[in-house]
Amino acid sequence: MAIISEKSEKQKAGQYKLPLEVFLFTFSILALVQLKLTYHPIILLERFISGGGWFEITVIAFYGAFVAYKMQIPLNVPKWRRITWTIFSFVFFSQLIIGLLGVDKFLMTGKLHLPIPMMILAGPLYRGHLSMMTILFLSTIVLTGSAWCSQLCYFGAFDNIASIRKTERGVFKNKKAIKTTLILVVIAGTLLLRWFNVPILIATLIAVGFGLIGIVVIICYSRKKRKMVHCILYCPIGTVVNMLKPVNPFRLDIDNSCNLCMKCTSFCKYDALNIQDVRNKKPNFSCTLCGDCLAACRDNSIKYRYFNLKPEKARNLYLILTISLHAVFLALARI
């Protein structure tokens, strides 16, 4: 009995290790922001109450710890990733709406920028210099690979909700060609607008049109296909992530215990686990490392990899980074 009790205590301690690490990491990042930017507070509550930022930081860090506690079990990931991602987008756009209604403190700088992912790429090309959002976006790729497209994008959560049912097994044909064509059109179009000095109002209307088409794609195609068509095919930022994510060492692999049951396919909203991909022992280039597929695999054949770390430790490191970034963005991501 004593041995069983000792094992139980160790298991309980292990359950709280990951949440504690996320709490400390999240708190440390936000505390650094709070201490460094005293002249222009970034933490929202600090703008209303002196010292209130520390309370918000603590609450956000506890939130990150709670998410880590729930998501450390692979079976819980699809549900809690959807919940937390939706919360993030709701908070992001709520702050935007309140800011537009006249409460400037809810905006990052008080200057309006279009909340369309495409603008992370097109905005700097049109203006000729990087924006803070672009720098934040690139930093997420360096730290977590493609996690932007599964937990951090303020637009992608709606595509995820639209494709909520188990996905169809149909493969998207010419996926790379479509994605490449769209991103080249966006880059070329933006550069032409800049070279011909097209007024910013017209450029803004074009960007709004691009965003509205994206919403139509989500409503009409993602719901029908039960896959995230906007994120997989339409969004140029998703293509940038696909191109740059190899700079990050996180990977998902399928080991030899896989029996080709293909249950993982019904959990993958990114069209990354078709039959040929499973036979090749790895997801294709549109994988976002979201981890939903682990919930489907009863043989534990799908594993995270990070250099020479054991799969469990690699997954825990991925969760620490992605959940902490999610929590930090929840506190900081504003227009």
Residue 310 counted as domain residue: yes
* Sign for the pseudo-dihedral over CA of 94, 150, 66, 50: negative
Q: Evaluate whether residue 97 is within a structural domain.
A: yes
Provide the domain count of the chain.
Answer: 1
Could you read off the pLDDT of 56-101 as tens digits, one per residue? 999 999 999 999 999 999 999 999 999 999 999 999 999 888 888 8
Examine residue 3 and state whether it is found in any structural domain, yes or no.
Answer: no
- Which long-range contacts (C-beta less than 8 Å, at least 24 apart) are formed by 199-203? 203/126
Position 39 in a domain: yes
In contact, 122 and 186? CB cutoff 8 Å:
yes
Q: Work out the number of other CB atoms within 10 angstroms of the CB of residue 198.
A: 14
> What pLDDT is recorded for position 10?
46
pLDDT at 233: 94
**Rg, the chain, Cα only:** 21
The residues pairing with 251 across neighbouring beta strands, listed in sequence order, are 305
Encoded tokens for 276: 């040929």
Q: Identify the burial level of 31 via C-beta atoms within 10 angstroms of its C-beta, where 0-12 means exposed, 13-18 middle and 19 or more buried.
A: middle
Residue 152 lies in domain: 12-332
Distance CA 39, CA 31 (A): 15
What are the two backbone dihedrals, phi and then psi, of residue 258, each rounded to the nearest 5 degrees? -60, 130
Tell me which H or E stretch contains 252: strand 251-254
pLDDT on residue 31: 96
CB 252 within 8 A of CB 287: yes
Amino acid at 137: F
**Residue 4 included in any domain:** no
Instruction: State both tokens at 35.
Output: 């201490």
Residue carrying structure tokens 């191109």: 243
Contacts of 241 (CB under 8 A, 6+ apart): 141, 146, 148, 149, 288
Please tell me the distance from the alpha carbon of residue 272 to that of residue 47, in angstroms, as a whole number: 43
End-to-end CA distance of the chain: 57
Residue 1 domain-assigned (yes or no): no
Whole-angstrom Cα distance, residue 301 to residue 294? 8
Entry pTM: 0.90
Which residue, chain included where needed, has tokens 């769209």? 182
Alpha-carbon distances of 145 from 53, 177, 206, rounded to whole Å: 30, 22, 30
- Flag whether 2 is in a domain: no
CB atoms closer than 10 angstroms to residue 236? 22
Please identify every stretch of the chain with a pLDDT value under 70, giving residue numbers as ranges.
Answer: 1-14, 109-113, 166-171, 335
- Cα separations in angstroms, 1 against 6, 8, 14, 53, 265: 9, 11, 20, 48, 43
Round to whole Å and give the CA distance between 294 and 268.
Answer: 10
Residue 223 lies in a domain: yes
Q: How far apart are CA 278 and CA 143, in angstroms?
A: 26
